[in-house]
A and B are shown apart, each in its own frame.
Chain A
């Protein structure tokens, strides 16, 4: 099986600046965490603009099922009582 001849898959997240969120940059294969970090630096951070890298084994990630995205994420936009947009902020509270 192809899977057994490949090193484990890792997901790479990079951070552009101190305090910014880590964003998914892509994935790569590596034998262990240190190599995954090295490879992530070479593949995704080579041209700069990255101050931090997280690598996570892909198996550690649980993702929401795409087939059920509809019911899972139904925003209930028609239930206006759940959202406070209709409330007008009194003038005196602007910037509050």
Chain B
């Protein structure tokens, strides 16, 4: 019999792992919606590949979350049988895919965060978590190359591509602050050396993003009000609809095996 997460560090860790998993599961699902619909064949494959990478990463984090929690919840149980309010992803991840420019800019903004987060996380005190992060780090370097190259081509492209890319940047900017808003769980995990400090990651993210946007001849919006609440289960109206699609098969046939 496994013991339930008895200590507060363990329950913090479970929460943190759910956040890591949910960001990637939700974003991976959104990317998968492009499959069969991308503007060109090569991007159809690329976006599907990136979606699979993210869902693969999510599987590992959610599996570890379930194990640490000790209540017998597998990664599938966590992915398919939690309600909208129990999901802890940032709102940036759940926004609908929009047009290609929106997807690429959103992906870039997340990839830049993912890159710096995993770069630090793989050096954390929890070696199991560090191993998962190291695996993801290899993938995210590729994701970042893909999205940042596309941002530059869309921004420094035709009039239409630049207009769409700039609109995407302007619409997405208010969702970027949430990635760097620590709460007490983050602070406790930083103190115990497990999680990277979001306050230290934010300036690195800013430098990377400003640099790429500048090279893409796009303007960085003024930072104003930032949306938040995703980590606490407060989501946009989009997540519920997305989850109903994502979870319908599992919920229609609970316990079914392939």
Asked if residues A42 and B45 are in contact (CB atoms below 8 Å), the reply is yes
Q: Which of B61-69, B105-113, B145-153, B229-237 contacts A (4 or more CB under 8 A)?
A: B145-153
Question: CA–CA, A29 to B39, complex, Å?
Answer: 12
A-facing residues in B29-73 (Cβ within 8 Å): 40-43, 45-46, 49
Number of A-B contacts (CB under 8 A): 28
A15 within 8 A of B: no
Could you say which interface size class chain B belongs to? 10 to 19
Instruction: Kindly state the interface size class of chain A when it binds its partner.
Output: 10 to 19
Given contacts A29-B40, A31-B153, contact A38 B45 (CB under 8 A): no
The secondary structure that dominates the B interface is helix
Residue A51 interfacial (CB < 8 Å) = no
Residues in B whose Cβ lies below 8 Å from that of A29: 40, 42
Q: Is the CB of B42 within 8 A of A34?
A: no
Contact with B along A22-46 (1 / 0, CB 8 A): 0000001111101100110111001
Q: Which residues of A contact B40 (CB under 8 A)?
A: 7, 29
Kindly report which residue of chain B lies nearest to residue A39, judged by CB atoms: B42
Contact call B49/A28, Cβ cutoff below 8 A: no
A residues in contact (CB < 8 Å) with B? 7, 28-32, 34-35, 38-39, 41-43, 46
